[in-house]
A and B are shown apart, each in its own frame.
Chain A
C-alpha cells in the first residue's frame, strides 16, 4: 500500500475545509482541516505534513506568517497559498518566501487538486490519483 499524502488545509472560512476534506481524500490524501491559524501551527509543530494549503488573509496570524513558520519547522513541505485577490505583489512575496504556488479565490476543487498533484510530483509522490478525480468530472 502506497504512503498517503499528508495535507493540512487552513482557511478561516470553515466551509472551505469542510468541502476540501472529502475532495482531497478522494484523490488519496490524508487531510486535516483548520479554521484557526494558531491551532494549525500547533499541529504543524507536532506532525510533518507534505503539503500545507493556507489562506493569506486571516485575522490574528496571516498566511505569510504561517508559510514562514511551516518552512522553518519543515523545510521540505510544499506550501500552497490561497489568496482572496491575486495581486502580483502578494504572489511575488509568497513565492519569494518559498511558497510552492498560489491559487486565487474563488477556485474549483479540481484546480487545487491539480496544484497539489504538481506539488506531490515535486515531492516524489508518483501515485497521486489525479485520474480518479478526472473521471468523476
Chain B
C-alpha cells in the first residue's frame, strides 16, 4: 500500500509524496485553535488587569494629593494666624507667644509635607520657603529678646525688624497660597483624567475586540475555505496531497493529514476500479480474440492436414507454398494474442510522450474483432501533425477501447462509428470525438452515464464501470469527457486531453495546469 502510486504522476508533476507531506505536517510546532483562542482571551485578561492596576495606582496618588492639599491648607492657616498675632502685637502690644506657637506648627507641617510637596513645587522654592520661615522665626525671637530686656517701644531697631517681618511674612503667605493653589490644580487635572479614562478604555476595548475577533475569524475561515476548495478538487478526481502552508500545526493540519489519507485511499480505490474495469474489458475483447484466432488456426489445420495427406504427390513448389502459409498464419495468430496481452499486462503507470494517432490505432486494432463481429463500419480520421500528449499509454488505450466498444454496442450491424481526432477549440487541448449513429441515450439517463456501477446493459453484460473509470483516467490526465446524445440520433463522446506543449520540455511542463474552463457541462444536469 505504501508504495502504491497515489495518482497519475503527470496530473501533478510536482506532487510531493504523501508520506513526506505528512512528516512535514507533523514536524511543525503545535499551535492549535484552542491555544489561539486561549491567547486571545488571555490578552483581554491582561488588559483588564493592567487597567485595574493603573486605576488603583492613580487612585492612591489622588488620595495622597488630597491629604497633601489638606496639610497645605492647614499650613497656610498657621502662617496667617501667626501674622494676625504679629499684627496685633505691633498695633496693640502684648506678647509674641502665640506667634511663636503658630510658626512652630507651620514648621512641623512644612517638614511633614516636604516629600509630597516636592512633586508640586521646585525644591529650590521649598528651600526659600524654609529660609523665610527661619528668618521670620529669628526676627520674632529677637523681638521677644528685646521685649525681655525692656527696650523702649520706639527704639530705632524696632521699625527695621517690623519691616523685615512684614516682608518675610507676606512672602510666606504668598508661597503657602501658591502651594495650595498648585496642588488644587494638580488634583483637578487628575480628576479630569479620571473622567476621560473610562471613555478611552471603552474605545480601546472596542478596537481591540474587533482586531482580535477579526484575527481569530481569519485564522479559522481561511483554512476552512481552503479545505472546501480541496473537497471540490477531490470530487473532480485530483488527488494531489495537501501541503503545509503555515509554520505551525493545528487542528486543520490534523484534518489535512486525514484528508491526504482519504485521497490516498481514493486513489487506490480508483486504481482498483480501473483494474476491475480493465478485466471486464479484457473479457469482452477475449471473446473477439478467440473468434479471430480461429481463422489462422483453421488455416494452419487445413494446410497441415493437406500437406500430410498429399505429401508424396505434391510438387516441391506447392509444398513450399503450404509451408509459407503455415509460417504466415502462425505469425498472424501470435499478433492477435500479443495485442491483447499488451493491453492486459498489468504495468506500472508511466507518463510518456504519446502519439495520439498510435494510441487510437492500437485501440481500434484491439477492438478489431469486435468491429468485425458487430458488422459495423468504422472510420478513423487522425490528421497528421496532431500535437502529442503526455500520459499513460495503457490507461488511455483502455479509455478509447471502452468508448469504442460502447459505440459498437450501440450501433449493431450496419451502423457507423467514427473516431476523429483534432485540436480542440479549448486552447491547449487535443480532442478525440467518438460518435455513433446508434440508439442514443435518453435524456433522463444522460446525467448518470458517468456514475460508477450505472449500466443499462443486462446483468452480467456490463459492469457499469466503463465510463466512470474512463472519466477518472482522463481527469487524472488533466482532461475531460463530454457527451452529447439523443435517443435515435446516436451519441458523441468527446475526450479532451492537454496537448504536450513544446517538444523537449520536461514532463513538468506538459500540459496546462488548469482544466478546460467549461468542464462542468460534461455531466449535463
CB interface residues, A 96-117, toward B, < 8 Å: 105-110
A1 sits at the interface (CB 8 A): no
Does B291 belong to the interface (CB within 8 Å)?
A: yes
Complex CA–CA separation, A59 to B368 (angstroms): 12
A110 touches B305 (CB 8 A): yes
Asked if B306 and A105 sit within 8 Å, CB to CB, the answer is no
Of B81-89, B231-239, B295-303, B462-470, the one touching chain A: B295-303
As a 0/1 sequence over residues 60 to 94 of chain A, the CB contacts with chain B under 8 angstroms (1 = contact) are 00100000000000000000000011000000000
Contact bitstring A116-137, B, C-beta under 8 A = 1, else 0: 0000000000000000010011
Does B261 reach chain A (CB closer than 8 Å)?
A: no
Q: Tell me the complex Cα distance, A106–B298, Å.
A: 4
Asked if A57 lies at the interface with its beta carbon under 8 angstroms from chain B, I say yes
Q: How far is the CB of A38 from chain B (nearest CB, A)?
A: 15
In the assembled complex, B375 has its CB within 8 A of some CB on chain A: yes
Residues of B within 8 A of A62 (CB): 375
Across the interface, which residues of A come within 8 angstroms of B294, CB to CB? 84-85, 105-106
Q: Which of A16, A84, A110, A133 has the most CB of B within 10 A?
A: A84
Residue among B299, B300, B302, B310 having the largest count of chain A Cβ atoms under 10 Å: B302
For the A-B complex, the count of residue pairs with Cβ-Cβ distances under 8 Å equals 63
Task: Check if B301 sits within 8 Å of A108, measured CB to CB.
Answer: yes
Closest residue of A by beta carbon distance from B287: A85
Chain B contributes a number of interface residues (CB within 8 A of A) equal to: 22
Contact yes or no, B309 A109, CB < 8 A: yes
Contact for B297 among A57, A59, A106, CB less than 8 A: A106
- For A39-61 the 0/1 string (1 means CB < 8 A from B) is 00000000000000000010100
Interface residues of A in 9-30 (CB under 8 A from B): 13, 15-16, 18-20, 22-23
Q: Determine the chain A residues whose CB is within 8 A of the CB of B295 once the complex forms.
A: 13, 84, 105
Cβ of A23 and Cβ of B306 under 8 Å apart? yes
Query: 9 closest pairs, A vs B, by CB?
Result: A106-B298, A19-B302, A105-B298, A15-B299, A105-B294, A106-B301, A106-B297, A84-B291, A84-B294
**Could you list 23 A-B pairs, sorted by A, with CB under 8 Å?**
A13-B298, A15-B302, A15-B303, A15-B325, A16-B302, A19-B299, A23-B302, A23-B306, A57-B291, A57-B373, A59-B375, A84-B292, A85-B290, A85-B291, A105-B297, A106-B297, A106-B300, A107-B298, A107-B301, A108-B302, A108-B305, A109-B309, A136-B310
